[in-house]
Amino acid sequence: MVGIKIRESQNVILTLEEASINNYMKREIELLAPGGDIDSIKAAVLAGADAIYCGLNRFNARNRATNIDFEDLYKVLSFAHRNNCKVFLTLNIIIVGNEIPALIKLLNQLVNTSIDGVIVQDLGLFYILSNYYKKLKIHASTQLTIHNEGQINFLNVLNIERVNLCRELNIDEIKELTLVSHKNNISTEVFVHGSYCTGFSGLCYMSSVSSGNSGNRGRCSQPCRDRYFTTKEGKDYPLNLKDNSAFFDLRKLHNAGVDSLKIEGRIKGFDYVYTVVNCWKEHILLFLKHDKLSEDRSDLYKVFNRDFSSSFLKGDINKDMFIDNPRDNSIKSLSEANNYSSDEEMVREREQYYNEKEEIFNSVQERVKSFELTKDPILIYASGKDGYPLKFLIKTLDITFTVSSEINLAKTNSKSKGLDYDEFLKRFSGLKNTEYYIEHMKVDDLESNLFLPYKELTIITRKILTILNGSKEKVVPINIPVLKREKTTKTEPTLSVLISSEKDLNECKKSNVNLYFQLPSCLKGQYSELADLFLENNTLIPWFPSLLIEENYNDAVKFLLHVKPKQIVTNNTGIAYEAYKKGISWIGGPYLNIVNSFSLLCLKEKFNCAGAFISNEISKKQIKSIKVPENFYLYYSIYHPILLMTSRQCLHHQVTGCDKESIDDDCIQNCNKSSSITNLKKDSLYIKKTKGNYHSIYNSKNCINTDVVTDFPDTFTSFLIDLRDIKTETKINTDKPELIKIFEKLVNGNPNAKKKIDKIIQNSTHTQYRKGI
């Protein structure tokens, strides 16, 4: 067979050569592989992964993967750890209120396993873990799109051990953030192979809005991969990116100090997982042993791919990153790599390719199927006689030990049943919730009709379970206090307005509302102008964006210190951290994805947050489950253009075209351009690029939700309307000052305001409020 090599070993996956290489390494670098089902997990371990990440049937961001149940998890832990492979469990979704009891039950089980870490997105879960489950190691998910120093400092308060840096960063940005992380004793992880998302992870609502399948719930239906009506540039799949592969960038990643190289693919098959992991493992070992990089990544083209790019990593974000076909690119890659002299040669080569692919599949399948995942066997020998302690000899694959009772055995009276096989089996029922099973238990050396107090039996079995659990005491189930709905003094809600131009400020500042001003993601070209604007209008409240990368984050912090606002709204946890440290009152924005009460507690107790917006992804029923902490303010947006995604890539390249091949600083600073695409269902999406901001896509219809005002009369402190100039198909038949007046009437309880708004604002939606996530 050409190319793929099947790693041969009996009990231990690492060969002696690889073990010696590991000892040679100047700095370890972990290869982290996906495990979407049992066969893929086995394939990853057999191919040499140092760690795998997998999900249970609930609470993970790959809902479409097969995933595993808890009984499988014990077997996976046993198999992986026996082969020097760590296991990280994905709990990387946002979690709504009615799921919290099931989540707590799961955590009470997990804390007594040998799991090596849990991968988390939800701020409420961070709070629960850092407060109540300190033994579980916390990894920050890619869904948090970590891209600046402040975000790492924010997460450090929540006791994380690892952070996944967002895929859009270049190598210099990765190096800088890795240095910051290491100063905080946090390791870094970077995706090096697999699908690129067009938009920043955790900030993409495209699937949620279009089909009700939220990416923040692991249900993304990938509408960015859909076919659209042919664009002006002749593209049918204008949002479809090539796959990520940093294969030739290994040295740069190693030199940048990255701790873990992560492969994407939990919905891919075992043959894909084995092939990619095997290829990367051999590449890493060659580099570590001989300081060389392989020039051959042909094996990566033998499994599903959309061609490859590492342009984000290189800092060259160009139009060649797109591919106008979302399907497997393997055959096309083969054709491009070979200059065929005839059609017959092409047919022969393709036939050989398919035969080789089938051979790879069969070989890997045979290897995978030959390993049966089981718990580790345990042998138990009980012995004892009247007047002596009860003794247990325990044998596992790794250790042998004895445990004896503190109290001597005694004869039972004639009516009582003595200790026997069945009684011990009952006593060892706790093994069911471990990585072990009783293969054999022998009681031949135990005299009959012997007695030991129940309490002493409990103590001795607990000792055995503790030793088997690595001498860690079992953590008793934690009962997290039920959050109560705090009594609050009824106050009338206010109206807040979001704007983004001086023209809007002049138009709206006479209104008696809270005025928020959207700052750009890149302040560099507008810093002085915007600083002066805020200093001249000291009631204006800065609204910080979700994305503030590298020097843009530093400029935002500088702006915060320069302007010294009394309060801010921020969608970026890095700025939240800075506001907290500097004693500036801050409100969490709607793109922090807040959907449960524990997230509010997290912001209030850990970061002295004054209030937060509830996510517009959740329904009326899901909002009802939220309990507001005492002296904390709740906000909700009732009118806004619906942001579907934000991308570091130029989204106009494939639609209307651009003279430039790549994005540069001038593009970010000065480009101001709009376009649209239409899917085959005839739904239009609006692409917007404004000065100082990244490319964004908006829904065709704006969200308007007047129902929430009457549904929750005593819950929200303020309701927001977003009046930034973002063109969609929603039409407003009045000017902004008049619109503000009508919304003020709605918030103040005027019964006619809702009807008037419905007449003035046409072609809108509030589907998410009805359906939720």
pLDDT-derived band at 337, boundaries 50, 70, 90: low
Residue 261, pLDDT above cutoff 50: yes
Helix, strand, coil fractions of the chain, as percent rounded to 5: 40, 20, 40
Residue type at position 622:
Q
Digit-coded pLDDT (tens) for 533-570: 999 999 999 999 999 998 999 999 999 999 999 999 99
pLDDT in tens, 41-80: 999 999 999 999 999 988 875 655 667 899 999 999 999 9
Triad 9, 73, 300: Cα angle to 5°: 50
Residue 8 has pLDDT above 70, yes or no: no
Q: Rounded distance, CA 706 to CA 152, Å?
A: 37
- pTM for the predicted model, two decimal places: 0.93
Output the pLDDT for position 488. Answer: 65
- Chain mean pLDDT for the chain: 92
Q: Could you give the 3-state DSSP secondary structure of residue 740?
A: helix
**Could you report the per-residue pLDDT of 135-173, keeping only the tens digit for each?**
999 999 999 999 999 999 999 999 999 999 999 999 999
| Coil vs helix vs strand at 285 | helix
Q: Cα–Cα distances in Å, from 623 out to 228, 768, 771?
A: 35, 12, 12
Q: How far is the C-alpha of 520 from the C-alpha of 690, rounded, in Å? A: 9
Pick from 647, 770, 660: which is nearest to 200 by CA? 647
Percent of the chain with pLDDT over 70: 94
* pLDDT above 50 (res 382): yes
Name residue 194's beta-bridge partners: 244
* Residue of 145, 154, 137 whose CA lies nearest to 121: 145
Q: What is the pLDDT of residues 15-39, one digit of tens each?
A: 434 443 344 445 889 999 999 999 9
Residue 341's pLDDT band, with cuts at 50, 70 and 90, is low
Please work out, in degrees rounded to the nearest 5, the angle formed at the alpha carbon of residue 574 by the alpha carbons of 715 and 95.
45
Residue at token pair 């109540």: 132
Give yes or no for residue 516 having a pLDDT over 90: yes
Helix (H) or strand (E) holding 516: strand 514-518
C-alpha 87/C-alpha 633 separation (Å) is 39
3-state secondary structure of 563: helix
Give the type of residue at 111: V
Pair of tokens at residue 413: 């009276």
From residue 278, alpha-carbon distances to 282, 283, 299 in Å are 6, 9, 9
User: Residue 423's CB: how many other CB atoms inside 10 A?
Assistant: 15
Q: How far is CA 744 from the centre of its chain?
A: 38
Query: What distance in Å separates the CA atoms of residue 576 and residue 580, rounded to the nearest whole number?
Result: 6
Q: Burial of 608 by CB count in 10 Å (0-12 exposed, 13-18 middle, 19+ buried)?
A: middle
- Residue 148, CA distances (Å) to 141, 164, 165, 179, 542 in order: 15, 12, 9, 12, 19
d(CA 396, CA 414): 36
Tens of pLDDT, residues 250-259:
999 999 999 9
Find the mean pLDDT for residues 326-340. Answer: 74
| CA dist., res. 703 & res. 768, Å (int) | 9
Per-residue confidence band for 483, with pLDDT thresholds at 50, 70 and 90: confident
Contact assessment for residue 197 and residue 204, using Cβ atoms and an 8 Å cutoff? yes
For the stretch 106-111, contacts whose Cβ atoms lie closer than 8 Å and that sit 24 or more positions apart, written own/partner, are 106/56, 106/58, 106/59, 106/70, 107/132, 107/133, 107/136, 107/478, 108/475, 108/477, 108/478, 109/70, 109/433, 110/136, 111/135, 111/136, 111/475, 111/478
Mean pLDDT on 449-465: 93
Q: Rounded to the nearest 5°, which phi and psi values hold at 2?
A: -90, 140
Beta strands in 672-756 (DSSP E): 673-678, 684-689, 695-698, 702-704, 718-722, 731-732
Of the pLDDT bands very low, low, confident and very high (cuts 50, 70, 90), residue 622 is: very high
pLDDT value of position 320:
96
Q: 271 Cβ partners below 8 Å, 6+ apart?
A: 43, 303, 360, 361, 364, 365
**Could you identify the residue written with the tokens 């850092």?**
130
What is the pLDDT at residue 28?
A: 87
Question: What 3-state DSSP class applies to 426?
Answer: helix
- C-alpha angle with apex 35: 34 to 41, nearest 5 degrees? 120
What tens digit of pLDDT does each residue of 589-607 get? Answer: 999 999 999 999 999 999 9
Q: Residue 314 has what pLDDT?
A: 97
pLDDT band at 9 (very low <50, low <70, confident <90, very high): very low
How far is the C-alpha of 73 from the C-alpha of 113, rounded, in Å? 9
In the 8-state DSSP scheme, what is residue 261? E
Pull the structure tokens for residue 477: 């189930």
When pLDDT is averaged across residues 616-632 and rounded to a whole number, the result is 95
Contact 303, 364 (CB under 8 A): no
Burial of residue 469 (CB within 10 Å: 0-12, 13-18, 19+) is: middle
Burial profile 754-771: b = 16 or more Cβ within 10 angstroms, e = fewer:
eeebeeebeebbbbbbee
- The number of beta carbons lying within 10 Å of the beta carbon of residue 740 is 22
For residues 84-96, average pLDDT: 96
